[in-house]
Structures are given as structure tokens and as C-alpha cells.
Structure 1
Amino acid sequence: MTTMKTHQKPRTPLPAPHQLLICMLLLLSGCSAPQKNLPSEESTTKNIGILLLNHGSRSERWQKNLLDLEHNVADRILTIEGIDGVRTAFMEHATPSIADALESFDHEGYRHIVVIPVFLTIGTHMFDDIPTIIGMKDNPASIQHLKLEGIARYKPKAKTHLAPSLDFSGLLKSNALRRTTALSNNPENEGLVLVGYGSTHFDNQWSELFDEVGSYVCRKTGITEYTTAWCGHIAHYSSDSTTVAVNRILDTKERAIVIPLLVSQSEQFQIKIIGNGVSAVEGYSERVGYKPDAILPDPKLEEWVIETARNYAQSTAE
């Protein structure tokens, strides 16, 4: 098992009179009687552990954004009654793994584990892979797939709760609006391109989500056209989808604004795939507004994590 650091509530020290009483009892007992070992921190039963779960990436910047998210919310989450620890885990390409994090929660005696997936929307990972990794599903095909990918499974002794993904909040709309407004110069002559990872098996859900976000941003800014591009396996990790989408906007508009709806930043997606797709457009420096950023960091996403943790803490107490 991998050793990892957890944000935990500090233990309350004994009041001074209690400390004095203990010292007197120890002096009276001397060495004549065997002493029982005090329970370690690991063996002390804790109530709720929060696991912030994300896909994972080899990109250090990508990882840092997710670890910064934990750092920014941990103290506030630990003020919620019943919650005793906060961790981050990566599904693949980075450590700690989901299995290692869950096993550590078990080792420390947690009664509940609330898994909060920092994923954009429903997809194969949310629908099948993650429930299989944490022991909620036992699909043989998924188990075999995870084994081939080198992704360990672990079914916790603690009662495990899996929260919904980001699209069940409203923050994607406000996030895309803020980033679009920052790049917009003349909304009437601009069109919007939303670029996402995409999903082969859940294309309808992804398309509906991006339609909701695009329509919302257009209503709020005065931009009248939007379209979607994909940058993940559905597009074979090619820049072509981005280039085609931008040119589609430029057929009727003077300028295109490109917003990557990706949770975090990586050189592969924002620079190589989307960035190269933008630079393949003729006259892109004048005709395309693009910043290789991501949904994170976002204070509203932090609030969503905290509120999700609070709701589950209240429900386990009922």
C-alpha cells in the first residue's frame, strides 16, 4: 500500500487537569503492572473521509491543478461535522491510485467514504470504470479491461458513496461564460467553439451538455452562433476536429472564440491537440481568440465540492 498524506482534523488535546490526573496515575502505578498500548491514530475510528477523484494525467501541471483543488477546499470541508479527512486520488497515469486511497481510509478506520468525481459528465469512466474500481459493480468485462490497463480495484470495508459528476451542478455554464467574456471583443461578429474530450458510448449526453453550455453563453453575451469540437479518443486525439469547427464558425463570423471544456490543463490537449488545431486555421492570430486554459481553477467548483461533501455528511447522519 502506498503511504500518502491526508488532510485530517487535528485531534483535540486533553485539558490540563486531565493531563495532570493521568500523570499522577502513572506515577502511582510505577512499573509493577503491564501497560496497555494507547490506540494509534490509524486504529482510531473516524467517521467520513472525502475522496476527490479525477482521471489522472502524466502532465505535472494537470496534476497540480487537482492537488491545488484539494488544498483549497480541505480546511473548509474539515469544518463540516462528521468529516475527518480529505484526499485526492487519480484513476490512472498518476499516484496515489483510487485503490491506494481507499485502502488508506480503511486502514485509518473510517466508517464512510464519499467519492466526489471531478469529471465533466457521464461517460464510460463514470458509468462503469469507477463503480467497478471501488467495488460497486462487478462487470467481468470491465474487470478484465481494468486489469489490462493495470488499474487496481479495491472494495472498502467502509460504506462507500459515489457522488454525481460536474454537469449536475450549474458551474460549467458560469465557467464557460467567464472565460468567453474574457476573450470576446465584438460578440455580434463572433462565434463560439466549445472543445471537449467526448465519448463514443455517451455521445448524446455530451452533446446535450455542450448544447446547454453553448446556448447559455450565447444568451448572456450576444454571440449568436456556437459549435462543438472533440479532442479525445472520439476524435482519435487529432487536431482536425478543432480546425473544422473553427472554420465552420469563420464561414459566417469574423472571429471565433475557442473554449476548452476540460477539467484541467495538459500539454497534450490544450497545446498540442487544440492549440495545433487553432494554428492550422488561416489567419488564426487575428481571427481566433484562444487561451490554453481549463475549468480549473474555479472558486465555484471549490464551492461545489464543499457543498457536495456537506450534503453527504448530512445524509449519513440521518
Structure 2
Amino acid sequence: MELRAGSIRRVIGWSAAVTLGAGALAYAVAHGGRPAEARAERERKIALLLVNHGSRSEAWRKGLLGLEDDVRGPVLKGDRVRGVKTAFMEYTEPSIATRLKDLDHEGFSDVLVVPIFLTVSPHSFDDIPTIVGKKENPRSVELLKMERIERYTPRAQVHIAPLLDFTDLLRKNVLRRARALSRDASNEGLVLIAYGDETYEKEWDRLLDSVGAHVKEELGITEQAHGWCGHIAHYDPSHTTRAIQRVLEKKRRAVVVPVLVAYDEMFQVKIIGDGVAAVPNARDRVAYKPDAILPDPNVEAWVVQTTREHVDRIVGGAAATPGRP
């Protein structure tokens, strides 16, 4: 039996369509999703940008770059995220604007910003969204100009993850560090020293009260106080001294833990350290180690998990709106 040329073309076309459709389905199955989601994933080029406050301290910057190194492997596994970078909001390069320009140059379609901040502050709520073009806050715009922080709206779509809920992580982190310093919990008090923030002081108070209550319960310590070392305290060591003295009025010894993301000589050594040294008989009555929250495997795990969850949303959103650039 002979087939006409038109019939042959239809058969070949149908066969090719089946083959292509099967290939798309196989790709989707291999990637654990529907064909539209698999196509969206192929079309996106997603980067993770870890954003932190920034510091003039090289040691501080190394701590945050160390976090990038620690999460890079798990985040890049599976090829859903194609790049991992760190940006400093102020004081040093690479800035947020610099990194976004780099990512635009490298052809990324989406940038997931994960802020590494302890709790809510004007930086996380206003400044970062304003820098990346997601928000127009007049006060932030003016302050950024004064501080010579560049704003840049990238071609890539920016997605900002919620702040890390440090409450549970801090409980575990501070407990571990306080336990290492404690000798006789029943005769000790806990002192937490953090950066603080004037605008969100109540939120900072609640955070440290919650962390302190957990440490007291686990260690058997009955007294607690906290103080500030940042701009809210005018970087004055006496705020640390006074917080320690409040505990020493009732206890023989104070266990002092710095609640700071990374190590910075100015804070852990000069401000907090000088505040400790000003306490009478500090050598016998104060236990203090100038360390920081990082490195901490729990923080690394949170970054990896948060990235995976938001990449799912980015890809899912792209599949739902295929016309989006």
C-alpha cells in the first residue's frame, strides 16, 4: 500500500510530537514536577545573595564570607541555584549595588536576597528594599545618600526572604556558649550584650528576654540582664558595665555573652571588653569570651532551607506566569 506525501508528513510530525512530549515529561519527572514547572526551572537563572550589615573589620567580614562558603555546596546542589554571593550593606565592598550589577552582567533572571540580621530594624525593613528598588522610602533614600550607599534596581527580579527567626537558633547558640563559661549556675547571673536599635528597642528586648529565659531554665541560673553596645548606647562601654553590675548586685559571678552575628574587634574587644574590665574584681567575678553567633551549623541549615523554599516559589511563580521576563 502506498502512502501519499501529505500522509507521510503527518505521520512524521505526529511521531516527532510524541517524542518531544515524552522528553519533556521525562525531564519533568526527573526534576520532580510538572512539565510547565520543569520548563520554568530551565528558563530561570537564580542566584542567592546573602546580605548583611557590613563592617570595617576584616575579621567580621571573614565571618560572613565563611557563612557563604559553608552554604555554597548545599545551595548549589541540584543546579536550581546557579550562584551564591555575599553583599555588605555599608562600610565596605562588595556592596549590594555592586553585587546586583555583577549578577545582571552574569545574566541572572532572579536574585533571592536572604538578610543575615538578628531581628527587625530600619535596615531590614526600609533600607535593603530601598537599595534594591523594591521600595521608595523617602527617609531611607535621604539617609542612603548621606551615607553614600548606592541604590541599584537590577534587571533581574529581586525576591527578599523574611528575616531569619533567630529566637530558637539564639536560644541554642547562647545556651551552648553560656554553658561553656558557667562554673556554678546557682551563684551566677546571665548578661547578654547586643547591638540594639532605638526604633525597635521593644523587639530587641523581647528577643533577649526570651533567649535569657531559656538559658536560665536550662542552666539553673536565676538572674538575667541585658545591655546594648551599638549606636543606641553610643558605643559606650559603660552600658556593658552597668548591665553586669545589675547582676552582680545579686550574684557572685556574671556570665557575659555577646549577642552579635560575627566577631568585630571594636565591639567584642573594645566596647564590651572594656565594659567588662571596668567591673571591680572582674577577673574573679566576670566570665566573658569575645566570640559571636557565627559560625553555627544551625544558621547554615536555616539559610539552605530558606533558599530551597523560596526557589520553589520562584519557579512555581514562573510556571504560572510564562510571559514574565
Q: Does structure 2 retain, via aligned residues, the 8 Å contact 1:243–1:278?
A: yes
Which residue number corresponds to residue 288 of structure 1?
286
From the superposition, tell whether residues 80 and 224 of structure 1 become closer, same or farther in structure 2 (CA, over 3 Å).
farther
Q: Does structure 2 retain, via aligned residues, the 8 Å contact 1:135–1:153?
A: yes
| Residues 219-266 of structure 1 deviation map (CA, whole Å, 9 limit, x = unaligned) | 111111111100001101000110001011000001000110000111
Which residue number corresponds to residue 265 of structure 2?
267
Which residue number corresponds to residue 308 of structure 2?
310
Q: Distance in 2 between the 1:311 and 1:78 partners?
A: 14
Which residue number corresponds to residue 7 of structure 1?
none
Which residue number corresponds to residue 146 of structure 1?
144
Q: Distance in 2 between the 1:135 and 1:213 partners?
A: 35
Q: TM-score, normalised by structure 1?
A: 0.84
Q: Distance in 1 between the 2:165 and 2:254 partners?
A: 25
Which residue number corresponds to residue 296 of structure 2?
298
Percent sequence identity over matched residues?
Answer: 51
Letter in 2 for 1:58: R
Which residue number corresponds to residue 63 of structure 1?
61
Q: Distance in 1 between the 2:183 and 2:44 partners?
A: 53
Which residue number corresponds to residue 228 of structure 1?
226
Q: Distance in 2 between the 1:93 and 1:52 partners?
A: 16
Instruction: Map 1:1-318 to 2 at 5 A.
Output: 47-167=45-165, 170-318=168-316
Q: Does structure 1 retain, via aligned residues, the 8 Å contact 2:87–2:93?
A: yes
User: Which 5+ residue runs of structure 1 have no aligned equivalent?
Assistant: 1-43
Q: Distance in 1 between the 2:296 and 2:153 partners?
A: 32
Q: Distance in 1 between the 2:170 and 2:57 partners?
A: 23
- Partner SS, residue 89 of structure 1: strand
How far off is 1:164 after superposition? 2.1
Q: Does structure 2 retain, via aligned residues, the 8 Å contact 1:257–1:290?
A: yes
Q: Does structure 2 retain, via aligned residues, the 8 Å contact 1:46–1:84?
A: no
How far off is 1:98 after superposition? 0.2
| Residues 240-296 of structure 1 deviation map (CA, whole Å, 9 limit, x = unaligned) | 110001011000001000110000111110000000000000010110000000001
Letter in 1 for 2:51: L
How far off is 1:317 after superposition? 2.1
- Partner SS, residue 285 of structure 1: helix
Tell me how many residue pairs correspond in the alignment: 275
Q: Does structure 2 retain, via aligned residues, the 8 Å contact 1:53–1:117?
A: yes
Q: Does structure 2 retain, via aligned residues, the 8 Å contact 1:114–1:162?
A: yes
- If you compute each CA radius of gyration, which structure gives the higher value, 1 or 2? 2
Q: Distance in 2 between the 1:140 and 1:235 partners?
A: 26
Q: Distance in 1 between the 2:126 and 2:297 partners?
A: 29
Which structure: greater helix fraction?
Answer: 2
Q: Distance in 2 between the 1:208 and 1:173 partners?
A: 13
Q: Distance in 2 between the 1:139 and 1:80 partners?
A: 38
Letter in 2 for 1:276: D
Q: Distance in 1 between the 2:179 and 2:267 partners?
A: 22
Which residue number corresponds to residue 29 of structure 1?
none
| Residues 69-127 of structure 1 deviation map (CA, whole Å, 9 limit, x = unaligned) | 11111011101452110000101112100001011111212121110111111011111
Q: TM-score, normalised by structure 2?
A: 0.82
Q: Does structure 1 retain, via aligned residues, the 8 Å contact 2:182–2:255?
A: yes
Q: Does structure 2 retain, via aligned residues, the 8 Å contact 1:175–1:298?
A: yes
- Partner SS, residue 105 of structure 1: helix
Q: Distance in 2 between the 1:45 and 1:169 partners?
A: 37
Q: Does structure 2 retain, via aligned residues, the 8 Å contact 1:167–1:209?
A: no
Q: Distance in 2 between the 1:198 and 1:167 partners?
A: 16
C-alpha RMSD of matched pairs (Å): 1.4
